[in-house]
A and B are shown apart, each in its own frame.
Chain A
Amino acid sequence: MAAVAIRTEGLSKHYGSVHALEGLDLEVGEGEVVGYLGPNGAGKTTTIRLLLGLIGPTSGRAEVFGLDCQHQVVEAHAHLAYVAGEASLWPSLTGAETLHLLGRVQGSVDEPYREELIERFDLDPSKKVRTYSKGNRQKLILIAALMTRPALLVLDEPTSGLDPLMEQAFRHCVYEARERGQTIFLSSHILSEVEALCDRVGILREGQLVEMGTLAEMRHLSALTVEATFEAAVPDLSGVVGVSSLEVVGHVARFQVRGSIEPLLKVLADAGVRELLSREPSLEELFLAQYGQSAEPAAASAHAS
């Protein structure tokens, strides 16, 4: 049985009448890299603050490595490190002093790795934090989290403010952590980042987890985009099971197909197709499908916007 890094049961957080998070059931296995997606205000940060015990749930519970997130905070935190998207640090300390402090508070630091990270992220630790740009402050808390080699990394939009070069360095660190068997919980709205790094993805919407699965599993949720070029006139495809969004320009038909493609293939074979292009949906398309801006509106909780 693989150990569980994060488990939540019916985890909810209400602020008055606002349901920031509703009945979240989540399980992240040890060594997994899980992406946590959702637009602003969907409840990503609320989930993470609940996992960290910074706020308490209205109902339900959460645990990290079997340790209760509310009642065994100190023990649970010995195994994890957290990076926030908004880094507010002590302005009068230097970068090196901040790293020293946070390392001592955490307890154990891989010092050679810390030096390597400082090098890799190109940070000048002798500068005072108040002179750092937002990106540099972000690097500082990334280094502070990674240098302790925690069993679980909880990352809340960790690359905000980083330039593409540094984002690359960050991805490299995540690959490394994954190689070492560290568990990573990555909240983000940068889809390419999640697509590149994560084994599994959860999509959160208005406080509810609406999808959870591997990227491969989730691709079935969205339509395949197909472009077919015919030798002669385009046959009538509108009646074929699963086909939608049909557009015909001359001999070329563009459309989407959902579910089994067998009925479609039969029609195409008879009609004499010269070229056939089909493409899997990107995470971006999956995400948009989930939020109802393309394909069909997502089920129950869809809003007119």
Chain B
Amino acid sequence: MVLRLTARKAVRSGVLWGYVFGLYLATQALAYASSYKSLAERTRLAKEFEFNTGVSALVGPAHDIETVAGFTVWKSLAVLAVVGAVWGLLAGTRLLRGEEDAGRWELLLAGQTTRRAAATQALVGLGCGVAVLWSVTAVIAVVLGRSSKVAISAPGALFLAVAVVAAAAMFLAVGALASQLAATRRQASAFAAAVLGVSYALRMVADSGTGLGWLRWASPLGWIEELQPLTDPHPLALLPIAGFTLLLGLLTVHLAGKRDLGASTLLDRASSNAHTRLLSGPSGLYLRLARWNLTAWGVGIAAYAVVLGLVAKSAGSAISSSSSLTRAFSRLGAIGAEAYLGVAFLLMAILVALVAAGQVSATRGEEADGRLDHLLVRPVSRASWLAGRLVLATVALVLGGLVAGVFTWLGAASQHSGLSFATVVEAGLNVVPPAVCILGIGALVFGVWPRAASVATYAVLVWSFLVELVGGIVGLNHWLLDTSVFHQMTAAPAISPDWTSGAALFGIGVVASLTGGVAFNLRDLQSA
């Protein structure tokens, strides 16, 4: 029962992300093959990046990037490892702790299932999700490898897929274990995210050329790097990966049997003094409930921004000295650090848009779980409740953009990269309108078809990301490109932001929100 339930959800998500992983690999490989046609160009690129410690710290050292295979691994592995890790830890905590918090396990455990058996079944179900994630990624990788431009052997492609999903498997286990230790899903996610943060930091130090390379063995993300798929495969590095995953899985099952349902292994503060400063109304309540989540996003964005700022100068100079890249970037009208950040800020835009999608999800959650009832049966209008949330979420998004800009500038300034504060902060604010647009679309779906709100919002986000990814290498029809919320966003700071289209995106967001608000006012409340 638990197995079927967990597997169904994990597999569904595994298929989706398998496509994202596969397409990401494909776009990197094909983009490289088409923009660096001659060996001379490739060698020049390789020379630039082989010893670039800044970029190496960010995504790992470059091996054999004069080959399609080497470049693809270098550009994809570290990025997909982090994405996979986040997927794994969220899926792990959602399907183990989230389901339990929602009380769904109580029903199942009242039957013949023991707590330990239920945890085992849930882990196996999650394992099915990873297996599917691997299969989809592997199939795309093998097909990609058969292209004459890419030419990767089938076993090589399969091993690449293993390396790409290894982080997902390990952090699924981390999420599962954290679910046993923590008292709530949120706390479990925070624990698991901290493990990911430490892993990333250790690997970064190890790859920054400070003679601490051995630290790579102390980080799960380092093990993945040690696999070196396609360039110099080390299957032995699979041992710590498998061992880590298995050990955490066993610990999860062991702890699941030892604790009570709904309880935590670590001490949990069941009572606390009343903090009522924010609790004066629906908007205050929203701030109170969302503050740690938003703060965590802020810290994550700030950390990523600092790293981008730190490597901007050296990555930018590498771009400048590569003739074909310069050609590509000069079309953007910028070279050097600004050009690099112009491209890298797409990911920043996605991070901020993820915050927006998260707020839509939370808004629907309040209604679906019936908590909204307690407010709406009192003298609170639906309009004021929704408007309060959306306005505060928009403020949070603007702050997210500011944090992105300011911290990128701080990182860049420490390297004397000569970027002006105003330019970088503008670039930070430039990522806000697409996020507001996502928030508005989410609010619209919430008003019209609440049960689809969360899924539809994430779908718009993923779709936009894929369109940008694929559109970067294949000339897509402009109608198709226009369906991406990121397409109207200029690549600031490489190009100065186009505030007219920014305002248009913002406007679409506001109009969609208003329409959603009107629809919400007219419809029935719908529980989950």
A residues contacting B by CB (< 8 A) are 49, 52-56, 73-75, 77-78, 80-82, 84, 86, 88-94, 96-97, 100-102, 104-107, 124-128, 130-131, 141, 144
Tell whether A102 pairs with B374 under 8 Å between CB atoms, given A91-B184, A92-B184.
yes
Q: Is the CB of A88 within 8 A of B369?
A: yes
The one of B279, B369, B373 in contact with A84, judged by C-beta atoms closer than 8 angstroms, is B373
The contact sample of 19 A-B pairs, CB cut-off 8 A, is A55-B524, A56-B524, A74-B380, A74-B381, A77-B378, A89-B374, A92-B184, A92-B289, A93-B279, A97-B276, A101-B285, A104-B279, A104-B280, A107-B379, A125-B274, A126-B271, A126-B272, A128-B270, A128-B271
The residue from A78, A88, A100, A128 contacting B379, defined by CB atoms under 8 A apart: A78
Residue numbers in A under 8 Å from B371 (CB-CB): 88-90
CA distance A106 to B377 in the complex (A): 9
Query: Are A97 and B376 in contact, CB atoms less than 8 angstroms apart?
Result: no
Chain B contacts to A: CB under 8 angstroms: 101, 183-184, 186, 262, 269-276, 279-282, 285, 288-289, 369-371, 373-382, 522-525
Contacts A105-B378, A131-B270 known; A97 to B373 CB distance under 8 Å? no
Inter-subunit contact B289/A100 (CB<8 Å): no
The 7 closest A-B pairs by CB, nearest first: A55-B524, A96-B274, A101-B279, A88-B370, A126-B271, A82-B377, A131-B270
Instruction: Describe B's contact surface by its main secondary structure.
Output: loop
Q: State the CA gap A56–B377 with chains docked (Å).
A: 14
User: Across the interface, do A54 and B373 meet the contact criterion of CB distance under 8 Å?
Assistant: yes
Please determine whether B184 and A97 come into contact, CB atoms closer than 8 angstroms.
Answer: no
Residue of A at shortest CB range from B187?
Answer: A92
Most chain B beta carbons < 10 A, residue from A52, A97, A104, A105: A105
Give Cα A75–Cα B374 distance, bound, in whole angstroms.
Answer: 16
- Besides A89-B374, A126-B271, 5 other A-B contacts (C-beta < 8 A): A84-B373, A93-B279, A93-B288, A104-B281, A130-B262
Partner among B270, B276, B369, B370 whose Cβ is within 8 Å of the Cβ of A100: B276
A106 touches B379 (CB 8 A): yes
Q: B275 touching A97 by the CB < 8 A rule?
A: yes
Cα A94 to Cα B270 with chains together (Å): 9
Known: A54-B373, A78-B379, A104-B280. A90 touches B270 (CB 8 A): no
Distance between Cα atoms of A183 and B280 in the complex (Å): 28
Which residues from chain A contact B285 at a C-beta distance below 8 Å?
Answer: 90, 101
CB distance from A124 to the nearest CB of B (A): 7
A84 and B271 contact, CB distance less than 8 A: no
Looking at chain A's contact residues, the main secondary structure is mixed
Q: Across the interface, do B524 and A126 meet the contact criterion of CB distance under 8 Å?
A: no
Residues of A near B376 (CB, < 8 A) are: 52-54, 73
Chain A residues with Cβ below 8 Å from B523 are 56
A144 to B270: give the CA distance in the assembly, Å. Answer: 21
Tell whether, in the assembled complex, residue B378 and residue A102 are in contact, meaning their CB atoms are under 8 Å apart.
Answer: yes
A55-B525, A74-B380, A91-B184 known; A105+B375 contact, CB < 8 A: yes
Q: What residues of A have a CB within 8 angstroms of the CB of B377 in the complex?
A: 52, 54, 77, 80-82
Inter-chain contact B281/A105, CB cutoff 8 Å:
yes
| Chain B residues within 8 Å of A82, by CB | 373, 377
A127 touches B379 (CB 8 A): no
Residues of chain A contacted by B186 (CB below 8 angstroms)? 92
Distance between Cα atoms of A90 and B365 in the complex (Å): 11
Q: Known: A55-B525, A90-B289, A92-B184. Is A127-B381 also a contact (CB below 8 A)?
A: no
Q: Which of A88, A96, A100, A107 has the most CB of B within 10 A?
A: A88
Partner of A73 from the list B273, B288, B370, B381 (CB cut-off 8 Å) is: B381
Chain A residue nearest to B262 in the complex (CB):
A130
Could you say which residues of chain B place their CB within 8 Å of the CB of A90? 285, 289, 371
Give the docked Cα–Cα distance between A89 and B274 (Å): 16
Q: What is the CB-to-nearest-CB distance from B403 to chain A, in angstroms, rounded to a whole number?
A: 25
**Which of B184, B374, B377, B379 is most buried by chain A, counting CB atoms within 10 A of its CB?**
B377
How far is it, in angstroms, between the C-alpha of A55 and the C-alpha of B450 when the chains are bound? 14
| Most chain B Cβ neighbours within 10 Å, of A56, A104, A141 | A104
CA distance A62 to B377 in the complex (A): 15
B residues in contact with A56, CB < 8 Å: 522-524
**Distance of A82 Cα from B373 Cα, bound (Å):** 10
Q: Are B525 and A54 in contact (CB under 8 A)?
A: yes
User: Do the beta carbons of A141 and B374 come within 8 Å of each other?
Assistant: yes
Other-chain residue from B101, B274, B289 in contact with A94 (beta carbon distance below 8 A): B274
Closest to A56 in B: B524
- Chain A nearest CB: distance from B188 CB in Å? 13
